[in-house]
Amino acid sequence: MAVDVNQTTQRLEWLLSECVARDASDVHLAAGVPPYWRMQGQLAPEPGEAPLDAEQLETLGVYMAERSGRDRLGATGSLDGAITAPDGSRFRFNLFRRSGQLSIALRRLEDRFRTLADLGMPDSLYELCDLPDGLVIVAGPTGAGKSTTLATLIDRVNQTRRGHIVTIEDPIEYVHAPAASLVNQRQIGTDARSFDEALVASMRQDPDVILVGEIRDLPTIRAAITAAETGHLVFTTVHAGDCVGAVERLVSVFPADEQTGTRRQLALVLRAIIAQHLLVADGPADDMRGPKNADGLPVRRGRVVTSEVLISTPATANLIATAKSNQIYSVMESGGQFGMQTLEEDLARLWATGRISEHTATSMARNPQVLRDRHAALRPGNGIRSRSLSR
């Protein structure tokens, strides 16, 4: 029986609308099972919704690939892209084969640019947007909100600086309309063949600020460092759990005989690393009608960001250049006046303000005892102290 293309695409549009209405972050589609929604960090099926079959998913795969300007997915592999729903909501998707059948994972993107305060990040990070050059890295695992943080920073540049912003993404997630700045957004696969090629070409396009969606291979990392060295402000992301891990991940990609020189280059161009994680907001809540924890007490809804911030100072730059990364956290502990914060410091703040529980805070902390010491030093009602990013 032939698949009704219009009916199938209408089903997709309904699912996207439902994702927005439910305030879900993701929707997963696979043959023979109902749609799965991720809400407040938890993934669960929709029992009453009829599943899509393999032919319908193949039809959706072709439709989504064409809508995003990509070649359709073949018999193997996966394909990234982004589509816009009829209501204007943007979604990033990944089509992938499993057991010979197509599955689809869709991630809802924000329909507006949030402020750093909305994200739970220090406002002082806006100072990074005023830097004339250098490398700014946002690190974290998949799904930690790195793209949202970068979009917030690029929007700030766009609203406040007169310059040329070039973004290189796979796919384009947040659309930046030119404001104070001219913005040109390039998508890998349609506008350029690779991050490396697009990044090298961007340096001939008179950019002031370059956003590279992700740096993960040697040519792209090398090009990003070169761009930062030659007077451009480069924003990018790295998959790493913390600030030191981000440094080591970049260096480790290079051959052993190049790593010493790479450390020195990185020490010169690095301006900041922001490492972030998304946590379930399971702190106590006043609303007894809300979700309950294991003890039957009400807890908050949603998710919160926790982050650590490494700012390049002469001390941190020297530790990076001399491969003494194990000492960086000691400098971060005492670097609050420069805008630095450790993960334990931010977890203690979230715990003290009731956003997360003690269990969540301690399970995330590298050093639970340091976390408890930080928590004990805080008083209810205290805000985040003002941080300066002055070098």
Find the mean pLDDT for residues 272-299.
68
Residue with tokens 């004339």: 132
What is the tens place of the pLDDT at every residue in 83-97? 988 888 899 999 999
Reported as half-sphere exposure (CB side, CA atoms, 13 A), residue 364 has a value of 28
Give me the helices (H) in the chain, please.
Answer: 5-21, 54-67, 116-119, 146-160, 195-202, 218-229, 243-252, 259-269, 314-321, 328-333, 343-352, 358-364, 368-377
Angle at 356 between CA 353 and CA 357, to 5 degrees: 105
Which residues, including other chains, have CB under 8 Å from residue 106's CB and lie 6 or more apart? 15, 16, 19, 26, 27, 28, 29, 91, 92, 93
b (16+ CB within 10 A) / e for 22-35: eebbbbbbbbeebb
Find the mean pLDDT for residues 219-243.
96
What is the tens place of the pLDDT at every residue in 178-207? 999 999 999 998 899 999 999 999 999 999
Find the mean pLDDT for residues 314-331.
96
What is the tens place of the pLDDT at every residue in 329-370? 999 999 999 999 999 999 999 999 999 999 999 999 999 999
Angle at 285 between CA 308 and CA 114, to 5 degrees: 45
Q: What are phi and psi of 50, to 5 degrees?
A: -65, 140
The whole-angstrom separation of Cα 362 and Cα 144 is 18
Q: Are strands 90-98 and 101-108 parallel, antiparallel or unpaired?
A: antiparallel
CATH class of 5-108: alpha beta
What is the tens place of the pLDDT at every residue in 250-282? 999 999 999 999 999 999 999 999 999 999 888
Q: What is the DSSP letter of 38?
A: E
pLDDT at 298 over 50: no
Find the mean pLDDT for residues 228-237.
97
Find the mean pLDDT for residues 306-316.
97
CA-CA distances (angstroms) from residue 296 to 289, 336, 355?
A: 11, 38, 17
The whole-angstrom separation of Cα 10 and Cα 30 is 17
Instruction: Return the pLDDT at 288.
Output: 41
Ramachandran region of residue 332, left (φ > 0), alpha (ψ -120 to 50) or beta? alpha
CA-CA distances (angstroms) from residue 91 to 24, 155, 159, 285?
A: 12, 19, 24, 31
What is the tens place of the pLDDT at every residue in 140-180? 998 899 999 999 999 999 999 999 999 999 989 899 999 99
Residue of 17, 195, 219 lying closest to 106 (CA atoms): 17
Where do the domains of the chain lie? 5-108, 116-377
CATH class of 116-377: alpha beta
Percent of residues in the chain assigned helix, strand, coil, to nearest 5: 40, 25, 40
Instruction: Return the pLDDT at 296.
Output: 55
